[in-house]
Amino acid sequence: MTMREGADVSVDAMIEDLRTLVETESPSRDVNALEASAKTVAAFIESRLGGHAVLVESEAGPHVHWSGGGDPRVLILGHHDTVFPLGTLERRPFAVEGGHATGPGVFDMLGGLVQAVHGVASLEDRSGVEILVTADEEVGSGSSRVLIEERALACGAALVLEGAADGGGLKTGRKGCGTFQVSITGCASHAGLEPAAGVNALIEAAHQVLDIAALGRPEIGTTVTPTVAAAGTLDNVVPAAATVVVDVRVETADERERVEAAFAALAPHLDGAQVSVRGAVGRPPMPESASAELFAVARQLLPGLEGRAVGGGSDGNFTAALGVPTLDGLGAVGGGAHADHEYLVIGAMAERARLVAGLVDAIRRG
């Protein structure tokens, strides 16, 4: 089994469609911008695939859903929200130079979306294919998770169009990831006149940071990283409140349970201090076993293709946790996700589009 080299995929057309998507800015949580972006995405899908792309309204902004009809067999999963605020395009406009396309969102993950749609467009028969483009992946997929899980279960296989791993490899495993916020309540007092009369929330936070950091087990893939802290109001006031935000990544369900239980059990060190925790490992781990079958097919289509387990999460974590075969990292080859130097390798676009088409064909053949 090999990819059809002659599949009708136009790189020039993909670049123009990518330009259209990038030039419709789509920062997460900006519902007005995401409404405009969703309409642009829907129009792009309809222009290349025909049919009707439905806007699924949510509090986070519209998700876009398209179906090729027939019995659902494969879900192509992406998102149209990006991390860049409005105005980024003016400072960093879409450009093509030196074999790269640059601009906000080209790699994560508008390029992958363009490649997938053009790949599907190269197929004469598009039945059984569904495309779901969500509006909130970058902020946790709170409003789209139920829809993602529903369509993944209905289709039975998921192809995730997040950017490729380094060197163009696919992402065959992902850590589970989540965010915790630890809130500390103390008691204010005058830092000079009667510091002992207060309960210093900043000192309690320091104790908590050390306890939290000790929860990590990097030797088995568990990282627990305090990332943001805040405390105090004035330099002569014992702080009455503090917060610590923590990023957590785990490779197994057992570690997820252990870390969540440990956060729930955090206890204060100072008399009179109170500690409360909210958060969870919201994206479950995606084990490499979830991608094994589809990755084997991808290797048949594109010999030499590499797979890699990575630390970042995606909506593929949700589909894999349901037992749905899931293959991730099928999107753009490039790098610099979430950074000003973000780029897409134009020379890889046609190959990746054909890879998606080949996987869709193989999945539908069973």
Q: Which CATH number fits domain 11-175+286-365: 3.20.20.150, 3.40.640.10, 3.40.630.10, 3.40.50.970?
A: 3.40.630.10
Give the CATH number of domain 176-283.
Answer: 3.30.70.360
| CB-CB contact of 190 with 236 (8 Å) | yes
Confidence of residue 1 (pLDDT cuts 50, 70, 90): low
Question: What is the tens place of the pLDDT at every residue in 121-158?
Answer: 999 999 999 999 999 999 999 999 999 999 999 999 99
Three-state SS string over the chain comes to CCCCCCCCCCHHHHHHHHHHHHCCCCECCCHHHHHHHHHHHHHHHHHHHCCCCEEECCCCCCEEEEECCCCCCEEEEEECCECCCCCHHHHCCCEEECCEEECCCHHHHHHHHHHHHHHHHCCCCCCCEEEEEECCHHHCCCCCHHHHHHHHHHHCCEEECCCCCHHHCEEEEECEEEEEEEEEECECCECCCCHHHCECHHHHHHHHHHHHHCCCEHHHCEEEEEEEEEECCCCCECCCEEEEEEEEEECCHHHHHHHHHHHHCCCCCCCCCEEEEEEEEEECCECHHHCHHHHHHHHHHCCCCCEEEECCCCCHHHHHHCCCCEEECCCCCEECCCCCCCEEEHHHHHHHHHHHHHHHHHHHHC
**Structure confidence at residue 8 (pLDDT):** 84
Confidence of residue 220 (pLDDT cuts 50, 70, 90): very high
Task: Parse the chain into domains and list their residue ranges.
Answer: 11-175+286-365, 176-283
Q: Is the pLDDT of residue 103 over 60?
A: yes
Confidence of residue 56 (pLDDT cuts 50, 70, 90): very high
Question: What is the tens place of the pLDDT at every residue in 10-42?
Answer: 999 999 999 999 999 999 999 999 999 999 999
Confidence of residue 4 (pLDDT cuts 50, 70, 90): low
- Residue type at 346 in one-letter notation: I
**Structure confidence at residue 366 (pLDDT):** 85
Confidence of residue 3 (pLDDT cuts 50, 70, 90): low
